[in-house]
Amino acid sequence: MTTTAIINLDLPGPVISRHVYGHFAEHLGRCIYGGFWVGENADVPHVRGIRLDVVEALRALRIPNLRWPGGCFGDTYHWRDGVGPRDQRPRIVNSHWGDVVEDNAFGTHEFLDLCELLGADPYVSGNVGSGSVQEMSEWVEYLTRGDDSPMAALRRAHGRDEPWRVPFWGIGNETWGCGGNMRAEQYASLARHYSTFVRDQGDNRVYRIAVGPSDEQYDWTETMMRSFDDLAADPAAPADPFQALSLHYYTMTGSWSDKGEATRFTEDEWYVALSRASRMEEFLTRHSTVMDRYDPHRKVGLVVDEWGTWWNVEPGTNPGFLYQQNTLRDALVASTHLDAFHRHADRVVMANIAQTVNVLQAMLLTDPDSGALVLTPTYHVFEMNAGHHDAASLDVALRDVPTTEADGRTLPLVSVTASTRDDGALVSLSNLDASEPREVVLDLRGRTATPVGARVLTASALQSHNTPDDPSAVAPAPFDGVREHPRGLLVQLPPHSYVTAELRLS
């Protein structure tokens, strides 16, 4: 069966925000300590204690934003513990993740320093679960106010004269769970309350993100949307007092008690994982439908600020540190999600994969013994897709898509999305078939397109992954499987592969 992808190159749609390629760094396991932060006395090359090769690798991705300090950790975090001289900061217990004690060496100034090194926008997750309105309001003032206010003066006393630009602010995290076990009506009122005091300071404009649903909690979305005043009354009026809802969803092949193995899985489990990853399309569609009832002008954004695979931890590692390997399967889970974000660019304004270093579906793994840095297969999908950042989405109509049955669902085995900018276009294609190659005809209409380069990400085995001893087991390679076709281009996708093709338009 040959799949046809009809792409109208002259009909650009909603812009794919670069922020859907965002990342998440929680005080969890070795994400911060041993990942980003090595300290100023470390032997590994660093900049003011921040690991240099990690920064360089993420800059190569053009990382647009970074969410911090949590996650569940964020709703036990009190920002004043992490400012001022490091040797005077109090020690705290990370009760959520490993029940370990940390010394707050990495706090507000270190995070904002990291964001400046990365060229990334900060996304701060504020503490609603155990904090206060005043605490959150003062943190915003500390970060973003430029005059001689009390919090600005405190920031200067800690060594930072100019305020930072902090565009994104989370009003709590998972308040339906670890962030407070709240009912939707209770949190909806708190979100309005807290958001009112997360104020714009000077020329810093804050985009406030309230806690939205997990998975299929459509009733939570309904309650949050009812908490707004009439969003349909004035199309020009912004959403107030918050501007977006979050959505969380994790992919696993088992249950929360036994999530499945990262590298030791069968072909059936390959398909189960990809079938469950494909549910993101369903969640985006159905939550957007609920939001559309109250917000027909789509003023309220959807921020998928936790997503990715969650497997059982690697044998011999701390179960509270959530360290897992990352295979070709994880890469195609990522491409499946990113395609869904592209298709919903009119509502999905940001997303954050969990997490950036050494935790869950990480971009990077740092080896604690050798000190080596490993780029994961998921990293390569993000790098291959960088051309979609802030490009206009193109509608892709698929015909004759092969499918399989997995986990009680019909799983399409081919996915295609595309975007355009100026006189170029980028087409991304996923073949989820574990064993068979697939042909896709790109039926290109409206403009003349010439292929200028293509790359493929695949490997000999579904379970292939990168290690310090074999860092390129799964890595992009030039791809010669794109050739001219009477209707445009023919792409011959290898089994279990991800391909990106660049086009020049005229």
pLDDT of residue 236: 85
- Tell me how far apart the alpha carbons of residues 55 and 421 are, in angstroms, rounded to a whole number: 27
For residue range 293-304, what is the model confidence (pLDDT) as tens digits? 999 999 999 999
Model confidence at 198, pLDDT cuts 50, 70, 90, reads: very high
pLDDT of residue 47: 97
The stretch 150-165 carries a mean pLDDT of: 98
pLDDT at 52 over 90: yes
**Torsion sign across C-alpha atoms 329, 330, 336, 339:** negative
Site of tokens 């994400």: 31
- Tell me how far apart the alpha carbons of residues 115 and 167 are, in angstroms, rounded to a whole number: 12
DSSP secondary structure letter of residue 368: T
List, in sequence order, every residue forming a beta bridge with 438; answer none if it has no partner.
Answer: 493
Short-list 303, 324, 311, CA closest to 208 = 303
State phi, psi for 286 to the nearest 5 degrees. Answer: -75, -40
For residue range 144-154, what is the model confidence (pLDDT) as tens digits? 999 999 999 99
Which residues in 145-166 are b (16+ Cβ under 10 Å) and which e? beeeeebbebbeeeebeebbbb
pLDDT at 212 over 90: yes
Chain mean position to CA 10: 29
Model confidence at 245, pLDDT cuts 50, 70, 90, reads: very high
**Could you tell me which CATH number the domain at 33-306+336-349 has?**
3.20.20.80
| Contact by Cβ (8 Å): 239, 296 | no
For residue range 435-460, what is the model confidence (pLDDT) as tens digits? 999 999 999 999 999 999 999 999 99
**Torsion sign across C-alpha atoms 260, 265, 268, 272:** positive
User: Among all residues, which ones are annotated catalytic?
Assistant: 174, 306
The stretch 120-141 carries a mean pLDDT of: 98
DSSP 22-89: EEE--SSTTSTBTTTB--TT-SS-EETTEEHHHHHHHHHTT--EEEES-SGGGGG--GGGGSS-GGGS
pLDDT of residue 135: 98
pTM above 0.95? yes
Model confidence at 1, pLDDT cuts 50, 70, 90, reads: confident
Q: Give the count of beta carbons closer than 10 Å to the beta carbon of residue 462.
A: 20
pLDDT at 175 over 90: yes
The reply to whether omega before 90 is within 30° of 0 (cis) is no
The stretch 43-69 carries a mean pLDDT of: 97
pLDDT at 232 over 90: no
pLDDT at 310 over 90: yes
Q: Indicate the pairing of strand 497-505 with strand 449-457.
A: antiparallel
Q: Which two tokens stand for residue 258?
A: 């036994």
Domain ranges of the chain: 33-306+336-349
| Contact by Cβ (8 Å): 302, 288 | yes
pLDDT of residue 407: 97
Which residues in 322-334 are b (16+ Cβ under 10 Å) and which e? bbbbbbbbbbbbb
The set of residues, in sequence order, having a beta carbon less than 8 Å from that of 136 and lying 6+ positions away, is 126, 127, 128, 194, 197, 198
Q: What's the mean pLDDT when you consider all of the chain?
A: 97
| Contact by Cβ (8 Å): 398, 416 | yes
The stretch 335-351 carries a mean pLDDT of: 98
Chain mean position to CA 70: 13
pLDDT of residue 95: 87
The stretch 39-64 carries a mean pLDDT of: 97
**Torsion sign across C-alpha atoms 395, 430, 273, 25:** negative
Site of tokens 């081919």: 414
Model confidence at 361, pLDDT cuts 50, 70, 90, reads: very high
pLDDT of residue 234: 85
pLDDT at 72 over 90: yes
The stretch 231-252 carries a mean pLDDT of: 93
Short-list 386, 359, 361, 333, CA closest to 502 = 386
Model confidence at 369, pLDDT cuts 50, 70, 90, reads: confident
pLDDT above 70 covers what percent of the chain? Answer: 100
DSSP 435-485: S--EEEEEEEESS-EEEEEEEEE--SSTT-B--SSSTTSS--EE---EEEE
